[in-house]
Amino acid sequence: MSSIPTPILWTVILGLALGSYALRFAFIGFMGGKPIAPWLMRHLRYTAVAIIPALVAPLVVWPAPTDGSPSLIHFAAAAATFAVGYLTKNVLYGLAAGGASLLLLYLAA
């Protein structure tokens, strides 16, 4: 794993800190009581649930530990994580299930 250059890291930290603060402050600070346009609100609602799956899907199909060749072990662990997270609505149960299944499949393989 290549390590992250320090200037990049600090630019990301500062950029994200300022950017996130601006997003959080935008309405409560500047806009007063002005309502946000419904179409904008509608898109904002789905940003996280679009970006995170889009980020993770290629990582599951072409996992980094196998240098990108599709792997049944990683796919199974990913499926277990998602399924348990979805069914229990609890992030930690999902993560525990995924971690455990990854470990078991490694040992069995």
Partner 1 sequence: MAITTTKSAFWKGFRDSAPFIFMASPFGFLFGVLAAEAGLIVPEAFAFSLAVFAGAAQFTALQLMQENAPLIIILISALAVNLRMAMYSASLTPYLGDAPMWQRAIAAYFMVDQSYALSIVQFENEPKMPAAHRMAYFFGTNGIVAPAWVIATALGALVGTRIPESWGVDFVLPLAFLAMIGPMLRTPAHIAACFVAVATSLPASMLPYNLGLIVAGIAGMMAGAQAELWLERQRAKTEAAK
* 101 and 80 Cβ atoms separated by less than 8 Å: yes
CA–CA separation, 100 and 96 (whole Å): 6
12-51 positions binding partner 1, by CB under 8 A: 12-17, 19-21, 23-29, 31-33, 35-36, 39, 41-51
CA–CA separation, 101 and 76 (whole Å): 8
* 78 and 49 Cβ atoms separated by less than 8 Å: no
Torsional sign, CA 39, 42, 43, 44? positive
Tell which one of 70, 72, 84, 105 touches partner 1 (CB under 8 A): 84
* 76 and 106 Cβ atoms separated by less than 8 Å: no
70 is a contact residue toward partner 1 (CB under 8 A)? no
Tell which one of 72, 76, 92, 107 touches partner 1 (CB under 8 A): 92
In the complex, what is the shortest distance from the CB of residue 104 to partner 1, in angstroms, rounded to a whole number? Answer: 14
Residues that contact partner 1, how many (by CB under 8 A): 74
72 is a contact residue toward partner 1 (CB under 8 A)? no
109 is a contact residue toward partner 1 (CB under 8 A)? no
In the complex, what is the shortest distance from the CB of residue 95 to partner 1, in angstroms, rounded to a whole number? Answer: 4
